[in-house]
Chain A
Amino acid sequence: MTVTKSNIVAKTGNEAMAEAMRQINPDVVAAYPITPATEVVQIFASFIADGLVDTEFVPVESEHSAMSACIGASAAGGRAMTGTSSQGLALMAEMLYIAAGLRLPIVMADVNRTLSGPLNIHCDHSDTMMVKDSGWIQIFSENAQEAYDNMLQAVRIAETARLPVIVTTDGFIISHGMERIEILDDDEVKKFVGVYTPKHYLLDFDNLITLGALDLPDYYFEHKRQEIEAMINSKSIIADIGKEFQTKFGRGYELFETYRLDDAEAAIVAMGSTAGTIKVVVDDLRSKGKKVGLLKPRVYRPFPKEEIADALKDVKIIAVMDRSDSMNAQEGPVCLEVKAAIYDASTSLSIDPEHGRRVDKAKFRPILNYIYGLGGREIRLDDIEFIYNELFDALKGTDKERVNYLGVRE
């Protein structure tokens, strides 16, 4: 892609996602407004009104209906998209499992906002985490540029993996923050996303199929196992499409991003907009000679566990930042995944008859968890520096808490 001045624009995260949707030109968009995601579909609706897209817009009475309409449209053979946030995603939850179980490649923009109660409209990841086990691929975006690029890739990922995809941005921080982004030409996007040709669909009258039928104990498990297999296989699909995007447009995407991690002693794992703030601190501490790095999971579902464990294999200590809590009286959802990844990378599956279970003790590293930013609580540079300092403290022998609540008054 040749970057011309007209390709460089200032857009909010919501505008960037709506712009991606305009260029994708889906067959159906069904949505219900909710702060802070309203603008995504509001702006998109104006594209329809202005005749810029051919999309059929379905203004529904609830998010449950929005997802139901998307399921219908996708099952019929169309490209269907929606956008929502927080309570809206919660209200969709029932239909999300159905969309994934029916293997419908719907793409959704979700602007991360906390779930009530108490009532709060600001950012955390509790909404997306609530549906982490629904069978949707989940892609987190650090900024408006990634939100735009991820939306474009999501269509291809969904249709190749035959699984629905959620692309998230951090509410207000990204959704309402205006940033410099580079957009592609309409033709380039059209070529990249291609024409959707589903293998099976309801309106294919020569090859009639049944969707959504009762699936009893004799076959339900096999069908679910296929869905699980699709999620496993989606890892390489996501990676390949990220590479193709880089080849074509110059901006590379992998399952996760590492930032100055190669020789790092202390690493933070964090998703979303905070990763950008962490990079600033990493640069600052590196200039002072401290070996720090960042690992930013881009794809939370499927969780790239072997790859992440491998990327973290040489660091001495890890802090995982979670912008939600699992209410499980232990760690947050990202930390649990990272711990499981490192446990599996450090232990064998068989027992040595003479020596017992083979454990690579060197691979077991201290992992601290930091729950942060709930309900939009601000996260500053010194908060991040504090975490790195705690990690170096622990490396010197000071015992730390396993789970920490960053900046909360107790």
Chain B
Amino acid sequence: MEKLVEIRWHGRGGQGAKTAALLFADAALNSGKYVQAFPEYGPERTGAPVASFDRLSTKPIMLHSGVTNPDVVVVLDPTLTDSVDVTEGVLEDGIIIINTAKSPAEIKRELNITGNIRVFTLDASTISKETIGREIPNTPMLGALIKVTGILDFKEMLEDTKKKLEKKFKSKPEIVEGNLKAIERAFNEVRSQ
């Protein structure tokens, strides 16, 4: 990973796009990378489209402008594609990962994605409902992101997330368990085109 990797997360306010970006950066940091994670600050409200970003590199990151040409786009909410152009600025050999029950081929057709952009899909909403008990697609999408990009070591990341969740949810071990299961399922169930 010599070059800078830039990731854009799309979600709706309250879905955890910011948290996912922060979690991912923190996991990358623990694997020795230089990181940045930041949300886009607009008129954010619950349910409104929001975006957040990650930058990862093996070298110190000095850049402090927004991400315009991401290597990877992660979409937490499939209904966003009606109102937000999630493909905007994606690099020609970039990756798009969408939370949907549809196949990558269907998404490619719907969003009119051509060229070398690779599309992956994951039914993260269903997975999170079955494992965590609530629709929180951000943690399973984290698993999909790591599988698809290979940027981080999956086992290391899982350990790291476990530690963090255990600290945050001391009195609720079932939440920790559910989240870890969600990430593992995502890792195995993400579909490529």
Contact = CB atoms under 8 A, between A and B. Distances in A.
A180 B35 contact: yes
Contacts of A279: 62
Contact of B29 (A10, A121, A276): A10
A10 B25 contact: yes
Interface stretch (A127-135, A217-225, A326-334, A373-381): A373-381
B65 A178 contact: no
A165 interface: no
B21 to A, nearest CB: 8
A180 B38 CA distance: 12
Contacts of A178: 22, 25-26, 35-38
Contacts, number: 62
A280 interface: yes
A314 interface: no
A22 interface: no
Interface stretch (A169-177, A317-325, A338-346, A363-371): A169-177
Contacts of A381: 63, 65
Contacts of A273: 64
B64 A378 contact: no
A380 B22 CA distance: 23
Contacts of B30: 5
B38 A378 contact: no
Interface string B67-81: 010000000000000
B154 interface: no
B37 A177 contact: yes
Interface in A167-197: 170, 172-174, 176-180
Interface of A: 5, 8-10, 121-122, 142-143, 170, 172-174, 176-180, 273-274, 276-277, 279-280, 378-381
Listed from nearest, the 9 A-B pairs whose CB atoms lie closest are: A177-B38, A276-B62, A273-B64, A178-B37, A10-B29, A279-B62, A276-B64, A10-B26, A380-B65
